[in-house]
Chains A and B, each alone.
Chain A
Amino acid sequence: MVGASLGATAFAGAAGPLYGWAADLSLDEFLQKHYTELKPDELQAVLRRLEAETKEDYGADVQIEDVRPQEGVQFAYALNLSVCTGCRKCQEACHHENNHDRATNNSYIRVFEMDKGTLSFDHGNADYDHAVPKEGKFYLPVQCQQCDNAPCVTVCPVQATWKESDGVVVVDYNWCIGCRYCEAACPYHARRFNWQKPQISAHEVNPNQAYLSNRIRPQGVVEKCTFCLHRTRKGRLPACLEACPTGARVFGNVLDPNSTIRWVLENKRVFVLKEELGTRPRFYYFFDK
């Protein structure tokens, strides 16, 4: 009898956080289907509900769109390591564009300070705090490499993350169960987990949002770079590229033979990070000095 009572108490204690969490979860959200299975009218209802929730939770008036891949477009990114100065403007722009948590100053980009002559960013330092560029160092910004053979997609047990037709790896933030397998599988440390509900004051929220990209992510899900698909699928440049003061970043459609990205891939000695893993990234790096 005492044992049963203790057991019940222990169960209630263990399940307590779940009840707290469930209080934040509406019935509509609980019953919501996977992004790829939503009919157009269902998806519109979801977007309007998320806008209302953002208003309620953050006090911000936002527009959440569903932006689909464009026909005949395959995105790729290249970064010139010879001119990157490590100023972290890209990281900062990402932080604001993608409505990251202000408390952690989170961003999809990490800029690693590296000793010249090395290329393993596992030994780089992303925590530097001195004038840049520093003698004897170079700077390696790392974000999602949008792999064509993406380990994060393979390991997801619920198919909450997948690769879209334009090459962008996306997450259905309402389908993710927060197991963090993808975070562990990514060799580029490109995925982040929302340990807490993101904090952003209403006037700092970027109101131009998309379901698969920069809407404010819920607590307990993994998030990642989407090449700013809410911008790039409308022909615009990603926020990190616009912020780069040195022009180190090149972005575009590899299917267009006259694009800047094609010129770089054809004329510079580009390489990818951790090529030996066979992830086939769409993010290329090069030195040209």
Chain B
Amino acid sequence: MLSSVRLKTARGDERVACELCHSLRPTKPLPKNMEELKEFHLGMQFKHGTLPCTSCHSAGQPPRLHLASGAALEMVDAMQLCAQCHGTQFRDYTHGAHGGMNGHWDTTQGPRLRNHCVDCHDPHRPQIQAVHPAPAPRDRFFGKGLVH
């Protein structure tokens, strides 16, 4: 999910790496407001508080990020950017209590792979979206309010 956007393409809804286009053509400076974004950016949704694009993206070079201090930041280090505002989540993440993972609880026996912030939260619309749940069990006794 890092450095990519979810787009409606000929093959349906899929993620496309920014670099797919931006390595071939120069990136234009950011527009004043989001409605002016064109082409592949049209389907993108923006609902990250009231932040303007330039809170995170460098105005002249949108594929680059910057911290609140103005210091430049590579895309792969985006977690530092998120941590500036979401300190409690970053603290919990650091201690393994926020964010999905897989692999080993005992890291002496094998690796543990952690999710990145943007694996679950679209940075442009970070709130987790509603999903349809997996099917309920079909128990003999199962019905509304009955749990035996």
Contacts and interface: CB of A to CB of B under 8 A. Distances in A.
A110 B135 contact: no
Contacts of B101: 237, 241-242, 247
Interface in A106-131: 106-107, 110-112, 121-131
Interface in B54-102: 88, 92, 95-102
A7 interface: no
Interface string B118-148: 0010000000101111111111101111011
Q: Of A88, A106, A122, A133, which is in contact with the most chain B CB atoms at under 10 Å from its CB? A: A88
Which size bracket describes the interface of A in this complex?
A: 35 or more
Nearest to A245: B100
Given A85-B131, A128-B133, A242 B140 contact: no
A247 B115 contact: yes
A219 interface: no
For B88, B98, B134, the residue with the greatest tally of chain A CB atoms inside 10 Å of its CB is: B134
Given A131-B132, A267-B95, A235 B105 contact: yes
A68 B121 CA distance: 39
Most buried by A among B99, B100, B110, B112: B100
B147 A247 contact: no
Interface string B13-37: 0000000000000000000000000
Interface in A180-199: 189, 195
Contacts of A244: 100
Contacts of B147: 110, 112, 121-122, 124, 126, 189
Contacts of A189: 147-148
Interface of B: 88, 92, 95-106, 108-110, 112, 115, 120, 128, 130-140, 142-145, 147-148
Given A83-B98, A92-B134, 12 more contacts: A85-B131, A87-B134, A91-B137, A105-B138, A110-B137, A127-B136, A128-B136, A131-B131, A235-B104, A236-B103, A247-B100, A260-B97
7 smallest CB-CB distances across A and B, nearest first, come from A260-B96, A235-B109, A235-B106, A88-B134, A92-B134, A247-B99, A242-B102
